[in-house]
A and B are shown apart, each in its own frame.
Chain A
Amino acid sequence: GEDVEQSLFLSVREGDSSVINCTYTDSSSTYLYWYKQEPGAGLQLLTYIFSNMDMKQDQRLTVLLNKKDKHLSLRIADTQTGDSAIYFCAELGNDYKLSFGAGTTVTVRA
């Protein structure tokens, strides 16, 4: 979506941390999401954060939200080969529609 921007590619070594960044423009967004898409598959919800939170941690995943700068990031600790996929940032507007970024392709190398 034109209102959500992400870098297109990220290459990371197995065992390192990955950080995927996203910026959004709708200040009324209430919830922000990270989805994962593996080849030929649909989108899998990884995690989400309410806009009045700064951080949310869920096992290897950490989401950071800077509402002032409208910046969202997803950190994956101890990245594994199974983490290779496209990651989409999305925002939920007041109209209950999700708007997606173009996705970041994460490649995990041995």
Chain B
Amino acid sequence: GAGVSQTPSNKVTEKGKYVELRCDPISGHTALYWYRQSLGQGPEFLIYFQGTGAADDSGLPNDRFFAVRPEGSVSTLKIQRTERGDSAVYLCASSLIPRDGYTFGSGTRLTVV
């Protein structure tokens, strides 16, 4: 696609529920990143994929968070037993050459009530 696409754009869920957030990167971009942005803060790193494998998942806050990229393209961020503190904008980005900068999607705004 022309840009990084994230769906849904907004998600409201009840505390304790499971959610999946989808990211469709730019075609051909081998690197994919997930970030989380809380209100008034900069994006914080969650996980980085190079191809199908998670090259670095050190930013995932706990084992309720998991992400996959089974075919090296679309990625899904999965959050189990959601908590109110998980409310944030989840941003996905992709790149071909990291030094040229990442291209970000518009994000998924997750609200846990």
Contact = CB atoms under 8 A, between A and B. Distances in A.
A110 interface: no
A45 interface: yes
B44 interface: yes
A45 B33 CA distance: 15
Contacts of A1: 42, 44
Interface residues of A, number: 26
B33 to A, nearest CB: 8
Given A31-B99, A92-B99, A96-B98, A42 B104 contact: yes
Nearest to B3: A42
B45 A102 contact: no
B interface: dominant SS: mixed
A interface: dominant SS: strand
Interface in B47-86: 48, 55-56
Nearest to A31: B99
Interface in B4-24: 4
Contacts of B104: 35, 42-44
Interface of A: 1, 4, 30-31, 33, 35, 40-45, 48, 50, 88, 90, 92, 95-103
Give the 6 A-B residue pairs with the shortest CB-CB distance, closest first.
A100-B42, A42-B104, A45-B101, A43-B104, A42-B106, A96-B98
